[in-house]
């Protein structure tokens, strides 16, 4: 020990003074475990190019010391100077840089990333150093070949023997130069032959100028090093101290520590690409679990797309139909009790007055009610509408067969009738041409002169075709026994002036009635109302879809939390090989986003396919790119938001804690 404490030359690479490490004890007063002091004042100097073995019984603190040396852990007390610089003053990123550039770790349990191939494992440290991909592949290949792993490049760790895995981990330790190889029981899990090979390798590396710090409990293994330090119970008890006579034929150039501060690591894009590749690998390996978790996102995105497509489609259809039936029409009806005739405040006199209102092209009075109609011995209850001769034109409802009654029929109270398409079917199922047939309402015979075209084909409203149309005055007097209209349709000459006409009509009626015992509405207003209802429906459906996206997001969070827990050791390995906190954060965020991108794409495919199917079934559907893009964007954002917490958790792990995990 005196040799170590003696003044040494300035080329000391690692200098430990009074290093202590204590576990627990923080809350000993409250009944926590008593503090354990694992390192109890370690002083140690290591020069560049040395091949040192640290030997000691199990539990003596060797691994703890190695974690200190490798900057995976910080001491409780004491100083650690690396290349003359106090490590305590370096932040997490600078320490990551130091681990990446200065150290190469070889562990008893190899600590390879299980999902990556041998070559990819070797490449990891270079990845975080920002080495371009082709250079990285070439160097990893060369190292693996040098270590005798030809033909095993693409094997995953579980497809390699223990000796081979340890050689892969040595290659990884050398990837960024491996100035200092820290090997913790590297032969511990190996058979004697593989163990001997690994020791031979370490010897060669020492000859090539690498500094080797070998940790072992086995004195025979330790004896192969050029300097043996014995540790017992957290203290160095012997050191054969050949420190001053290292005769390495080669020495590696010293590390420029000032670079730690300006380190920018890997270029963002290259790193993201690599993170995406690694993430894809992991997702693929866990595809069943990932798929299940993704269902939430898939259903969310698909339902947003389908709901919006249906909403838009229905809206447009409704608008088109309402538009086709004349947004130039006004509907006017009595309202409430009238001072004159109960329930019939609007009179024929009113209608005559309205005929003079400018901008009105037609006044179409209607009298309606349900009646039983007989043909032959068939009785059918139907809706009877007495109306004007202009009906087919005003309501864009053409006659299919025969003709329509005229103004003259109306004046003469002719007993002629026109059948709605559905009524014709119901009343005369076996008659080839209903025109010319006679029907009875009560005991009044009517001659059928025409059949209307089916309106339901346009509106989907089949009941509109179950109707009997009669001249207004005939219906009023001979069928319903009233002269006043039930309601009146007013046609404006100019669609764009419907509102003006409505105001004028209101003025005339109010002038005549002095009380608003009538109501006026127009198709434009009902179109707007209908559109609003449709929009509300779409909103509600989209809300439901959005909720399922949130559920999907929680699924992503869940799978990411599981991933982080399962891969704690991988996180430790990545940190030991030089990943900074933000590299880890990026990797897990990339994974979360990739999960949701996959879910989003699947959702788009499912949604579009389903909506397409609806189209085949005649459900009106309109795809909107913004809905599809929006749903996809939401999925990705969901992944980011819900993936952040697990990724944060991963990146916040302590390297030693993660490695032990």
Question: How many angstroms separate the CA atoms of 279 and 65, rounded?
Answer: 34
Closest approach, Cβ 183 to Mg ion, in A, equals: 11
Using alpha carbons, select from 540, 652, 644 the residue that is nearest to residue 596. 644
Which does residue 638 touch among ligand ADP, Mg ion, none (CB within 5 to 8 A, set by kind)? none
Which does residue 56 touch among Mg ion, ligand ADP, none (CB within 5 to 8 A, set by kind)? ligand ADP
Q: How far is CA 133 from CA 37, 98, 281, in A?
A: 45, 22, 18
Nearer to ligand ADP, 60 or 651 (CB): 60
Q: If binding is defined by CB under 5 A, does position 63 make contact with Mg ion? A: yes
Which does residue 568 touch among ligand ADP, Mg ion, none (CB within 5 to 8 A, set by kind)? none
Class of residue 154 by CB neighbours under 10 A (exposed 0-12, middle 13-18, buried 19+) = exposed
148 φψ region: left (φ > 0), alpha (ψ -120 to 50), beta (else): left
Taking CB under 5 A as the rule, which mask of x and - marks residues 283-322 in contact with Mg ion?
----------------------------------------
Q: CA torsion sign, 51 to 52 to 57 to 58?
A: negative
Nearer to Mg ion, 186 or 607 (CB): 186
Which does residue 61 touch among ligand ADP, Mg ion, none (CB within 5 to 8 A, set by kind)? ligand ADP
Which does residue 649 touch among ligand ADP, Mg ion, none (CB within 5 to 8 A, set by kind)? none
Token readout for 465 is 């075709």
Closest approach, Cβ 585 to ligand ADP, in A, equals: 24
Name the closest residue to Mg ion (Cβ): 63
Nearer to ligand ADP, 61 or 386 (CB): 61
3-class state of residue 645 by DSSP: helix
Using CB under 5 A as the binding rule, the residues of this chain from 551 to 570 that contact Mg ion are none
| Rounded-to-5 percentages of helix, strand, coil across the chain | 50, 20, 30
List residues near ligand ADP by CB under 6 A: 23-24, 36, 38, 56, 58-64
Closest approach, Cβ 24 to ligand ADP, in A, equals: 6
Closest approach, Cβ 210 to ligand ADP, in A, equals: 22
Nearer to ligand ADP, 252 or 657 (CB): 657
Nearer to ligand ADP, 235 or 401 (CB): 235
Using alpha carbons, select from 606, 557, 72 the residue that is nearest to residue 305. 606
Nearer to ligand ADP, 63 or 587 (CB): 63
Closest approach, Cβ 36 to ligand ADP, in A, equals: 5
Q: How far is CA 364 from CA 288, 352, 518, in A?
A: 67, 11, 16
Which parts of 375-513 fold into alpha helices (H)? 391-394, 407-411, 421-427, 456-459, 472-474, 498-513
Nearer to ligand ADP, 55 or 310 (CB): 55
Token readout for 293 is 């978790």
Q: State the DSSP H helix or E strand holding residue 442, giving kind and residue range, or none if neither.
A: none
Rounded to a whole number of angstroms, the distance between the first and last alpha carbons of the chain is 35
Closest approach, Cβ 234 to ligand ADP, in A, equals: 8
Question: How many angstroms separate the CA atoms of 367 and 484, rounded?
Answer: 7
Nearer to ligand ADP, 17 or 217 (CB): 217
Which does residue 64 touch among ligand ADP, Mg ion, none (CB within 5 to 8 A, set by kind)? ligand ADP
CA 355 to chain centroid, in Å, comes to: 62
Closest approach, Cβ 657 to ligand ADP, in A, equals: 8
Query: Per DSSP, which regions of 11-109 are E strands?
Result: 12-23, 36-47, 51-55, 77-82, 85-86, 103-107
Closest approach, Cβ 216 to ligand ADP, in A, equals: 10
Closest approach, Cβ 195 to Mg ion, in A, equals: 16
Which does residue 38 touch among Mg ion, ligand ADP, none (CB within 5 to 8 A, set by kind)? ligand ADP
Q: Are 650 and 584 in contact (CB under 8 A)?
A: yes
Which does residue 60 touch among ligand ADP, Mg ion, none (CB within 5 to 8 A, set by kind)? ligand ADP
Nearer to ligand ADP, 23 or 510 (CB): 23
Which does residue 36 touch among Mg ion, ligand ADP, none (CB within 5 to 8 A, set by kind)? ligand ADP
Question: How many angstroms separate the CA atoms of 174 and 494, rounded?
Answer: 86
Closest approach, Cβ 105 to ligand ADP, in A, equals: 14
For 428, list phi and psi in degrees, rounded to 5: -130, 65
Closest approach, Cβ 75 to ligand ADP, in A, equals: 13
Nearer to ligand ADP, 63 or 345 (CB): 63
Nearer to ligand ADP, 56 or 434 (CB): 56
Crossing angle of helices 568-576/92-102, nearest 10°? 70
Which residues here bind Mg ion, judged by CB under 5 A? Answer: 63
């Amino acid at each position: 020990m005196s040799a170590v404490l003696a003044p040494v030359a300035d080329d000391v690479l690692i200098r430990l003074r009074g290093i202590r490490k204590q576990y627990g004890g923080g809350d000993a007063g409250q009944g926590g475990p008593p503090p354990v002091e694992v390192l109890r004042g370690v002083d140690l100097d290591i020069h560049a190019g040395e091949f040192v073995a640290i030997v000691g019984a199990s539990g003596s603190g060797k691994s703890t010391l190695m974690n200190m040396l490798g900057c995976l852990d910080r001491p409780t007390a004491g100083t650690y100077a690396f290349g003359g610089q106090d490590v305590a003053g370096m932040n997490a990123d600078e320490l990551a840089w130091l681990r990446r550039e200065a150290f190469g770790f070889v562990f008893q349990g190899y600590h390879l990333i299980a999902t990556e191939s041998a070559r990819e494992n070797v490449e990891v440290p270079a990845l975080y150093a920002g080495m371009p991909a082709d250079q990285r592949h070439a160097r990893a290949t060369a190292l693996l070949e040098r270590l005798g792993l030809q033909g095993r490049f693409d094997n995953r760790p579980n497809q390699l023997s223990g000796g081979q895995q340890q050689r892969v981990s040595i290659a990884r330790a050398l990837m960024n130069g491996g100035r200092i190889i820290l090997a913790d029981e590297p032969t511990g899990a190996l058979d004697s032959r593989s163990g001997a090979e690994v020791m031979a390798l370490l010897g060669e590396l020492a000859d090539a100028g690498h500094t080797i710090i070998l940790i072992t409990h086995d004195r025979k293994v330790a004896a192969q090093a050029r300097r043996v330090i014995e540790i017992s119970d957290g203290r160095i008890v012997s050191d054969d101290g050949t420190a001053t006579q290292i005769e390495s034929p080669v020495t590696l150039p010293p590390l420029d520590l000032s670079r730690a501060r300006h380190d920018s690591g890997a270029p963002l894009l290259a790193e993201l690409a690599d993170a995406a590749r690694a993430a894809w690998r992991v997702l693929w390996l866990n595809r069943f679990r990932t798929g299940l978790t993704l269902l939430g996102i898939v259903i969310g995105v698909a339902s947003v797309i389908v709901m919006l497509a249906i909403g838009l489609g229905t809206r447009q259809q409704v608008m088109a139909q309402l538009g086709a039936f004349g947004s130039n029409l006004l509907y006017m009806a009595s309202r409430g009790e009238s001072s004159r005739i109960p329930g019939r405040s609007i009179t024929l006199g009113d209608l005559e007055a309205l005929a003079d209102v400018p901008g009105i092209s037609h006044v179409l009075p209607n009298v309606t009610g349900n009646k039983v109609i007989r043909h032959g011995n068939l009785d059918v209850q139907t809706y009877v509408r007495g109306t004007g001769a202009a009906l087919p034109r005003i309501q864009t409802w053409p006659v299919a067969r025969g003709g329509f009654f005229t103004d003259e029929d109306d004046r003469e109270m002719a007993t002629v009738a026109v059948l709605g398409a559905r009524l014709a079917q119901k009343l005369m199922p076996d008659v080839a041409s209903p025109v010319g047939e006679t029907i009875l309402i009560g005991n009044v015979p009517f001659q059928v002169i025409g059949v209307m075209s089916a309106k339901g084909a346009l509106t989907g409203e089949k009941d509109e075709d179950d109707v009997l149309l009669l001249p207004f005055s005939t219906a009023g007097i001979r069928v319903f026994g009233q002269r006043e209209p039930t309601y009146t349709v007013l046609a404006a000459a100019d669609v764009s002036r419907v509102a003006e006409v409505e105001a004028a009509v209101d003025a005339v009626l109010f002038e005549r009635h002095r009380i608003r015992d009538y109501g006026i509405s127009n198709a434009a207003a009902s179109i707007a109302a209908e559109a609003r209802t449709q929009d509300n429906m779409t909103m509600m459906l989209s809300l439901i879809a959005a909720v399922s996206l949130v559920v999907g997001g929680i699924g992503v969070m869940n799978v990411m939390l599981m991933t982080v827990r399962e891969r704690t050791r991988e996180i430790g390995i990545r940190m030991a090989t030089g990943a900074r906190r933000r590299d880890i954060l990026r990797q897990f965020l990339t994974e979360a986003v990739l999960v949701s991108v996959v879910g989003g794409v699947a959702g788009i495919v499912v949604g579009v396919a389903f909506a397409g199917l609806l189209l085949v079934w005649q459900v009106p559907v309109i795809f909107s790119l913004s809905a599809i893009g929006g749903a996809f964007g939401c999925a990705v954002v969901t992944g980011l938001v819900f993936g952040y917490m697990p990724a944060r958790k991963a990146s916040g792990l302590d390297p030693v804690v993660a490695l032990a995990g």
